[in-house]
Structure 1
């Protein structure tokens, strides 16, 4: 039995990093199933709409982060390819070590400022939005929960570059382990809070608990000493932000901002046009589909440091071998999970399963919009894999594609959403993703040939 399990995990490409990362996703998936029943029992359909719209508004973090978090992992991995780490000490080329230390100092200063600005902006935007569009639901207590969410999200933003730094140094498994424990502890506390009638307060509490778990784990491990030693390193050589990072970052930033308009507008627009109940159905469905996407992409995201190092060493044969094998594995996982999700939805609809008097199937979108969204998930897995591969070269070829995608999706969401509601939003998004997909294929093939001299 042990031998069979080893064979299966080898074929699926499950290493230590993926084991923790995907393990966290498995827990998240199980939690999502459990949350369906918990939400139905302890949150009304209206409160469910608030719950998921909270997350969509918090996603304006993209406008402050501007893609730098993702870039840090790649830059650290490139510098780390010339260094050695033993017992929390970094040795090797002093120039690369100095550049790494400077990048850490830069991140601390940069993220300190944007975390404060993010907190203030998020607080104001949320209060304005919910004050305007929640007038018909005075029974929902959202003010203090929103304040807690803003505080927790700002602290989490400040922690973000340290995650990227540690992953770039090759400790992907350690970061995945933190995520794994967060996926266990936070849902448990959320369910307990709902059982104790904390209602929407659980969102803010879970966000604050998330940052606390991260800090406790890093502080008690060798990772803290590693960061402290790097912080104390004498800086003799620097990374020029304007010459090295900014020319790449502004392209990534626009792509990420475009991503907000592609993925995060649905819930707020539906909340304003069709009400919180429909927004809650969209949120619950997208939560399940995004969990499938995140689980599948664990195979490629955990390979970013390795791919970046192979690119720095110009070992393109090993790079392509790793990438092609990884894409096949992640697609297999994605299709299997989507199939299981539809079987689950079919079961809910056929049985009209209810929990505490609430029919569970009514908390999801119907089959047609769910199917259209699922197709976009499959296309998105391909595009995300290609984009990750190319961005490991410290370049952003997806700029104009992302801009066009973001603009078209925004116009479609607001325009068709106002005219046709839910089906207008989903139908428009589906059509746009199908039209943009061939462009993504062309970008990947063209840039790969150009950069590798093929």
Structure 2
């Protein structure tokens, strides 16, 4: 008999290719594609900032610089018309998206009930924002004429028509904001942030071209046009079928806004109203009490620090749709693991970046005073940097809470914003920028941080 052929040894399983060290480093830092593009947005703004600073220092007077940055703060009044809807939409749509997906041609497919609810949610949001965009144009424009036409008005600055153009562009951007929020909540975070990067690069290029050409205070309006154009092309191009399918979605189960969302939204709305005292008050109060020159220095400094805050906040914000889905599945252990990991990584990176900014300010103050004079002096920069660290922790904890579609202890949260506004107003006149920075730091570190930690722990004990 022929001998049996011995079995062949099993083929060795090929090991997966080892990832490159940059990729491994990004993974350790919890940088996914969405966070990568969000960081690129802020990184581009931070890298391009010195070029913009030099252009402003060369082509703008100190008075014009004050108007330039104060425009952005006063336009922030539009938040009163948003009713905190973008954040509400991100959280609400992330709960509804579980069980849905995009088809190959870009339409929303999946559970019929959830599609119906998501469509109702989107239609309600768009109808409100159409009204809000019109109202905000007239109200914010009038507020700007009252504020800039006050006792600190400069006879050398023609600000009226540029101001109207800025408000008009911001109103169109406000009309598109629910579309971007719905996309973000439906786990399209990476494309949304990629579009933001494109918008940021094109906007910066527009600034660099228009300032030397003598555009002056028309520069913010030009940037608004670039922003609206990028967002309109994004919504009407790549995601046209997405929004068409939501708008035409038949009503199977209507979304009960006032029963399901309004109890959360009205708290967020009131909190957003008072949040103006925490986010947009610093530059206008310096403009009002000390004129456009100190306001310009605060505006430029605040733009640098705010860019770092937004960049670090991207780690948590980009995961908010994931947080909402994990909460809907009641997978709280994974929720806590991801939240702790990404927030700790982001906090460490923010700390390193703030140290670098303070060292740079010291060097500019010592060796390049012509440039350093366009920023705040080292002491208020240091105080604001400490405040930025505290604000990052506070915002991260509240984002965690809001992903549960809840905004508890609203009265205490409002008290913190009011305290911040009162301290800034009380200290700005006698101490200027140092007083503003000290009041901002005190309100956030001594009141808002302990409150956020308490609420975060309470939420976890109650629902987890």
When normalised by structure 2's length, the TM-score is 0.93
- Equivalenced residue count is 445
Residue in 1 that maps onto 2:124: 106
State the Cα distance separating 1:2 from its structure 2 match. 6.7
- Find out whether 1:426 has 2:437 as its counterpart: yes
Among 177, 181, 186, the alignment partner of 1:160 is 177
Aligned-residue offset at 1:101: 0.6
Residue 115 of structure 1 is matched in structure 2 by 133
- Partner deviation per Cα, 1:210-264 (whole Å, 9 max, x = no partner): 101111233231x111111221111121112211111111111121122111121
Q: Superposition pairs for residues 376-387 of structure 1, below 5 Å?
A: 376-387=387-398
The equivalent of 2:11 in structure 1 is none
Residue 311 (structure 1) shift:
0.2
In structure 1, which of residues 354, 374, 396 is the aligned counterpart of residue 385 of structure 2?
374
Residue 441 of structure 1, aligned match among 453, 460, 463? 453
Q: Does 1:215 align with 2:232?
A: yes
Query: Cα distance, 1:415 vs. partner?
Result: 2.2
Identify the residue that residue 284 of structure 1 maps to in structure 2: 300
> Residues 401 and 440 of structure 1 are in contact (CA less than 8 Å); yes or no, is this contact kept in structure 2?
no
8 Å CA contact 1:255, 1:398 repeated in 2: no
- Residues 146-295 of structure 1 aligned to structure 2 (within 5 Å): 146-221=163-238, 223-295=239-311
1:19 is displaced (CA, Å) by 1.1
- Structure 1 residues not aligned, in runs of 5+: 354-358
Secondary structure at 1:200's aligned position in 2?
Answer: helix
**Counterpart position of 1:347:** 363
1:398 and 1:60 mapped to 2: Cα distance?
Answer: 24
2:71 counterpart of 1:54? yes
2:353 alignment counterpart = 337
Native 8 Å contact 1:376 1:433 kept in 2 = yes
Equivalent-residue separation in structure 2 for 1:171 and 1:448 (angstroms): 27
Structure 2: where are the runs of 5+ without partners?
1-17
- Counterpart contact for 2:361–2:377, Cα < 8 Å: no
Q: CA deviation at 1:99?
A: 0.7
In 2, distance between residues paired with 1:2 and 1:238?
47
Give the Cα–Cα distance (whole angstroms) in 2 for the partners of residues 426 and 340 of structure 1. Answer: 19
Residue pair 1:258, 1:405 contacting (<8 A) in 2 also: no
State the match for 1:97 in structure 2. Answer: 115
Q: Report deviation, 1:182.
A: 1.0
Hey, what's the Cα distance between the residues in 1 that align with 2:296 and 2:377? 13
**Number of the residue aligned with 1:356:** none
The structure that has the greater radius of gyration is 2
> What CA distance in whole angstroms lies between the structure 2 residues aligned with 1:159 and 1:398?
31
Q: In structure 2, which of residues 42, 52, 56 is the aligned counterpart of residue 35 of structure 1?
A: 52
CA shift at 1:163, angstroms?
0.4
Runs of 4+ in 1 over 4 A off after TM superposition: none
TM-superposed deviation, 1:348? 0.9
- Over 3 Å counting, the alpha-carbon distance change for 1:424 and 1:343 in structure 2 is closer
Contact 2:428 2:436 in 1 (8 A): yes
Whole-Å separation in 2 of the counterparts to 1:209 and 1:84: 30
Q: CA deviation at 1:335?
A: 1.1
Report Cα offsets for 1:28-49 as digits up to 9, x if no partner: 1112222111110111111111
User: Is the Cα–Cα contact under 8 Å of residues 387 and 398 in structure 1 kept in the other structure?
Assistant: no
User: Match of 1:363, SS?
Assistant: coil
